[in-house]
Amino acid sequence: MADPTSTKKPKSTSHPWLVVLIFAAFAITIFGVYLNFPEVSPDEKQHLKYPRNLEDAKQLGRVLSKYKENNYSVVLCGVIVVYCFLQSFAIPGSIFLTILSGYLFPFHVALLLVCSCSATGAVICYTISSLFGRSFVLQKFPERISKWQEDLSKHSDNFLNYMIFLRVTPIVPNWLINIASPVLDVPLSPFFWGTFLGVAPPSFLYIQAGSTLEQMTHTSVAWSWSSVALLGGSAVLSLAPILLKRKIKSD
């Protein structure tokens, strides 16, 4: 995986075999975690799968919570690997792992886990898009992409702030940001740190809601007027440095 703090972008040539290699590495790691998990009953075993809905998250949470005390590292590694896998291949379900993290771990551990996994998985998805899809898109839409790249380059000093803003707000889906960023020449460093910082406010809400997972009936319980205010305030703060720079230049 590319160094998340580097601004050097992966080459744009297509390497589909690397995508297969990344997928295989995840599959082997997940299987290794599964093998190291303690023996469970047949009823519990059926719930050892990544959650597709809230009920799946509840069932999985009950199983993991039961074995967490004596197998903390295995449970933690399992959540981390599956979370990164979902993010890396833009597979739906990470929201339920965010809620599940709030149920299984202390708040500060869960928040660090979610932010780190989101950023790491996003970088892997960025790398896959750059290695596998970037050259194809550039060949199909050279003029349009070139125009977008030129427009974005004018704001290169503010990529970090814009990335935080996009992650905080639901304007653009996260998977689309991950795939499009290398095509539009967004450097890897602001991409990584913008993701790490930007997913924190919405993750805060779902992790907090996850502490009451057993009582949850739908994921929207994490939202309220105070939640909207938190995200709105975070979005404004992410753009504040840009607005301040413009004001200073205009004076």
* Domain extent for 33: 17-250
- Domain membership of residue 141 (yes or no) is yes
Residue 183 has pLDDT above 50, yes or no: yes
- In the prediction, which pLDDT does 172 show? 86
User: Of 122, 127, 120, which Cα lies nearest the Cα of 11?
Assistant: 127
- In the prediction, which pLDDT does 8 show? 46
121-133 mean pLDDT: 89
Q: What is the pLDDT of residues 9-25, one digit of tens each?
A: 444 445 677 888 999 99
Mean pLDDT check: name the lowest of 1-5, 36-40, 75-79, 190-194: 1-5
> 176 versus 110: which is more confidently predicted?
110
> 48 versus 100: which is more confidently predicted?
100
pLDDT class of 106 with cuts at 50, 70, 90: very high
225, two tokens: 């007027």
218-242 mean pLDDT: 80
pLDDT class of 211 with cuts at 50, 70, 90: confident
- Domain membership of residue 10 (yes or no) is no
**Across the chain, how many H-helices and E-strands are there?**
13, 0
- In the prediction, which pLDDT does 229 show? 86
Q: Which residues contact 189 (CB under 8 A, 6 or more apart)?
A: 4, 5, 6, 7
- Domain membership of residue 6 (yes or no) is no
- Domain membership of residue 52 (yes or no) is yes
Radius of gyration from C-alpha coordinates of the chain? 20
Mean pLDDT in the chain?
85
- In the prediction, which pLDDT does 50 show? 78
What is the number of structural domains in the chain?
1
- Domain membership of residue 158 (yes or no) is yes
- Domain membership of residue 227 (yes or no) is yes
- Domain membership of residue 22 (yes or no) is yes
- In the prediction, which pLDDT does 217 show? 66
- Domain membership of residue 228 (yes or no) is yes
Distance CA 175, CA 10 (A): 18
Termini Cα distance of the chain: 44
